[in-house]
A and B are shown apart, each in its own frame.
Chain A
Amino acid sequence: AQSVTQLGSHVSVSEGALVLLRCNYSSSVPPYLFWYVQYPNQGLQLLLKYTTGATLVKGINGFEAEFKKSETSFHLTKPSAHMSDAAEYFCAVSVEDSSYKLIFGSGTRLLVRP
């Protein structure tokens, strides 16, 4: 069965520090992977996606993620955290049955210290 695991329900970094949010997935077929961000009382905003092609994917707001098949990982990074990056981040994998459904991880709350 497909699944998504996000290690760390909370990650705290200092402003200007590297952001690393971890995501591991399981899928029996080549996955489509997504990272979304959610600010309080809002819906989800797409940060980036991996479907095929280049394994290093660049997204909005300076975020990027690398698809590593051998590690079944799709970790999200940003070189320098900004206060405005504080939010909840969700990793998701598309379901294999062509229903366009997503399986979400449990989310990681990013805290940015001044």
Chain B
Amino acid sequence: GAVVSQHPSWVICKSGTSVKIECRSLDFQATTMFWYRQFPKQSLMLMATSNEGSKATYEQGVEKDKFLINHASLTLSTLTVTSAHPEDSSFYICSAHRGQNNQPQHFGDGTRLSIL
């Protein structure tokens, strides 16, 4: 159980393109989803917290207009990197949470984004 699907797993696109990444909880309802960015050989950096039906909460230093997050249902959150540039190239990972205190976050397999 607790499967989180993230799509696409890998994308290459030209500078200026907008890229959408989907995160789905396949077998449970996720009241909260998280979006992370991971640089090579580093730990995860939390970008934003997404609660179903409400606006995302962004961490300090994360541009909300650059990284658009939508959490329209209890099983789907999307991250759109708008007008992507080479410095946005990274590994993006989502996670989903059931909304109960003693439960873990369950992670997707990540999306490798490369902007040319």
A binds B: yes
| A residues neighboring B (CB under 8 Å) | 32, 34, 36, 41-46, 49, 51-52, 90, 94, 98-102, 104-107
Q: Which residue of A42, A43, A51, A99 contacts B102 across the interface (Cβ within 8 Å)? A: A51
Q: Do A42 and B32 touch (CB < 8 A)?
A: no
User: Is B46 an interface residue when CB atoms closer than 8 A count as contact?
Assistant: yes
Q: Which residue of B43, B106, B109 contacts A90 across the interface (Cβ within 8 Å)? A: B43
Interface size on B, residues (CB 8 A): 26
User: Is B93 an interface residue when CB atoms closer than 8 A count as contact?
Assistant: yes
Interface-central residue, A43, A104, A107, by most chain B CB under 10 Å = A43
Contacts of B53 in A (CB 8 A): none
| B residues neighboring A (CB under 8 Å) | 2, 4, 6, 32, 34, 42-44, 46, 49, 91, 93, 95, 97, 99, 101-110, 112
Q: A42-B110, A43-B93, A44-B93 are in contact. Are A98 and B104 (CB under 8 A)?
A: no
Contacts of B4 in A (CB 8 A): 43
The 3 closest A-B pairs by CB, nearest first: A43-B107, A51-B102, A44-B107
